[in-house]
Structure 1
Amino acid sequence: MKTVLITGTSSGFGKLLTEQLSAKSQYQIIATMRNTNSTNKTVRRELEKLQNVEVLELDVTSEKEVKAITELVLQKHQSIDILINNAGVFGGGLLEAHSIEQVQKLFDINVYAPLRLMKAILPSMRKRQDGLIINLSSMLGLFSIPLNAVYCASKFALEALVTGSYGELIQKGVENILVEPGSFPTELYKKTGTKADLQEVTDSYDGMAEQMTEYANNAVYGAVQKHKPDPNAVINKIIGLIEMEKGTRPVRNPIDQISGETFAQKVADDISELAQTQMKAYGF
C-alpha cells in the first residue's frame, strides 16, 4: 500500500482527490487541512469515514507543523510515496495596490509551502530512491494577466522550482512534476483569497480596477457557463499520472477545457522545446 500525503483537502481538488483515491485499496491517504476542530470540522468527519483516509491538522505555512506531520507520517507508515502539493490561495487586484506583506502572504502559501513539504519529504524519498511529487500549478503559471500579476507570479515561481529541479531529482529516483489546470468551478475562486490590500491605491485608479474586475469576472463566468469544465477531469489527470510507470510522467501536465486541451498541451510543449533549445545554445 502506497502512502499519499495531500495538502489542502478541505475543499476543491484536494477533497475530490481524497474521495476518489480512497476508493482504490492500494493507497493510504493522509489528508491534511487547517482548522480540523473548527471551520473544517464537518469536512474532517466526512473524510474520516472514507476507507484508508487519515485526516491530520496542518498549516502549510508553519515550518514546525510541516516537520512534525511529516515525521509523524514517516514514523507510522515508514514512507511517504506520493506528495500532492495542492494547498493554494487565489489573489487579485492591481499590482501597485498590494502591500509587500500581502505579496509575501500569497507566496508563503503558493510557493514556500510546497517547497517546505518537498524539503521535509525529499530526504526519505532519496534514501529509498523512489517517490513522486505532484504540484498543483495553473495555466496562469504560463501566462500573466492584468489584476492577477501577483498570483501569476507565485505560479510562475512554482513552475520554475519544479521544472528546474526535475533533472536533479530524477537522478535520485524522485519525479517532481506539475499539473496546470485552467479555470474550473471549485471553491478557490469563492474564497476571500489574498488580494490587493492598499485600498487607497486602488481608489487612485479612478474606478479602473473595479471596472476591469467586473469585466473579467463576467468573461470568466461566461466561459465557464459555456464550456462547463468538469473538476473531475483534473482528478482523473492526477490519478492517471500516479498510475503511470515511473520515468514516463511528463513534467508539465496542462488541462484546460475552456481554451481546449490541444492548445493547452501545445503551450506546454512549446515552452519545453524552447527551453531545450536555449540550454543547447549554452552547451547543455
Structure 2
Amino acid sequence: MQPKTVLITGCSSGIGRATAEAFLDEGWEVYATARNPADVETLGDRGCTIATLDVTEDDDVERVVDRIVEEHGRIDCLVNNAGYAQFGPIEDVPVDAVSRQFDVNVYGPHRLTRAVLPHMRRRREGTIVNVSSAAGRVSFPGGGVYCGSKFALEAMTDALRAEVDEYGIDAVLIEPGPVDTAFTDRAEDEIEGVERSGAYDSFYSVFEDTQAIGGGGPGAVAPERVAEEVLNAASSTKPTSRVPVGALARVTVLARFVPDRLRDRAFGLLDRLR
C-alpha cells in the first residue's frame, strides 16, 4: 500500500521539526521544508525528503508541490506551520513589518493551500492543517500585529472548511498556547525593528521582563505535544475543526467570551501590578 504524503513548512526547529519526525515515525512520506535546506539536513538523514521552501515565494511553492505530485501522484496532507511573531504596540510597528508578518503567517498558508487543493480535489480527499495559536482567538496589548495575522488565518480556515467539505477535504486549526521552542528568540529580534515612539515604555518593560509569550516557562508544552495533535488531525476521518493544545491554550480561548470592557480592565490591572 502506497504511503501517504505530507508537506510541512517551517521544519528547521520546534513544532515543524517535531511534526516531521512524528509523521515519519508513522510511516508517512514526509516532505520537510525550510527556507534554508541546511537547517533540515538532519531530517533528511532520518528519512524525510527535504526541500527549500520560502512560503513568501510563489516559485518555491509551485516547484515543491509539483515535485511531490510528480514523485508520488498525491498530497494527502499540508501542514502550514511556518510563521513568526511581530510584537510591538500598533503605533510603533512600521507598515513594512506588518506586511512581512502577514506575508509569512497569512499569505504563505494561502499560497500553499491554493497550490495543493486542485490535487486534493481530484482525489476527493486530503487534510489541510493550519498551525495557528491561542492568540488567534484573543488579542493582547503589544500583540496586535501577530494576533491579527492569526485571527486572519483562523477566519480563512473557517471559510475553507465549508468550501472544501463537498470534496472530502478537511481543514483544521491547531491552537497552541506557549510552546517550549526558540519562538521568542525571533520575536526579540523582530521587536528590535520597531519605531519606538516613547509612548509605550510600560509594554517594552513587560516584554523584556517576560520575553513575551511562546517560549519555555510555566504552562509551556513541548513541541512534540503539538506535533501529536497535528498528526491526529491528519490521520482522523472526521477531525475536530479546532484543537487548543495545552492547559493555557484551553483557558485562553475561553477569554473571548469575557466582555471587552472587563478584559480591557484586566490588561490595565496587570500593567499597574507590574
* Cα 1:146–1:196 shift into 2, 3 Å: farther
SS at match of 2:178: coil
Task: Confirm whether residue 50 of structure 1 aligns to residue 42 of structure 2.
Answer: no
SS of residue paired to 1:253: strand
Quick check: 1:6–1:85 contact (8 Å CA) kept in 2? yes
1:217 maps to: 211
Among 103, 106, 109, the alignment partner of 2:104 is 109
Q: Partners of 1:165 and 1:171 in 2: how far apart?
A: 11
Q: Please tell me whether residue 14 in structure 1 is matched to residue 16 in structure 2.
A: yes
1:164 deviation in Å?
A: 1.4
Scaled by the length of structure 2, the TM-score of the pair is 0.85
User: How far did residue 135 of structure 1 move?
Assistant: 0.3
Provide the secondary structure at the position in 2 that maps to 1:31.
strand
Structure 1 residues 207 and 121 mapped into 2: Cα distance closer, same or farther (>3 Å)?
same
One-letter identity of the residue aligned with 2:236? M
SS at match of 2:199: coil
2:231 is aligned, of 234, 239, 251, to 239
Are the structure 2 counterparts of residues 19 and 209 from structure 1 closer, same or farther at C-alpha, using a change threshold of 3 Å? Answer: same
Alignment of 1:174-189 (within 5 A): 174-189=169-184
* Structure 1: distance between partners of 2:154 and 2:200: 35
Identical aligned residues as a percent: 30
Deviation at 1:62, TM superposition (A): 0.3
1:205 corresponds, among 188, 191, 199, to 199
Question: Which letter does structure 2 place at the counterpart of 1:138?
Answer: S
Residues 1-40 of structure 1 mapped to structure 2, 5 A cutoff: 1-25=3-27, 27-36=28-37
SS at match of 1:96: coil
User: For structure 1, which segment, 230-239 or 180-189, has the greater mean C-alpha deviation from structure 2 after superposition?
Assistant: 230-239
Offset of residue 267 of structure 1: 6.7
Cα distance change on mapping 1:196 and 1:45 into 2, 3 Å: closer
Would you say how many aligned residue pairs link Structure 1 and Structure 2?
A: 255
| Contact 2:178–2:219 (CA under 8 A) maintained in structure 1 | no
Q: TM-score, normalised by structure 1?
A: 0.83
Letter in 1 for 2:45: K
- Residue from 155, 158, 163 that aligns with 1:163: 158
Q: Which residue of 2 aligns with 1:255?
A: 245
1:34-55 CA-to-partner distances (Å, cap 9, x unmatched) read 122xxxx2x432111113x100
Deviation for aligned residue 1:194: 3.9
Kept after mapping to 2: 8 A contact 1:67/1:120: yes
In structure 2, the partner of 1:82 is 77
Q: Is the 8 A contact 1:136 1:180 kept in 2?
A: yes
Read off the aligned partner of 1:29 and give its amino acid letter.
V
| RMSD after superposition | 2.3
Note the residue ranges of structure 1 that are not aligned, 5 or more in a row. 272-284
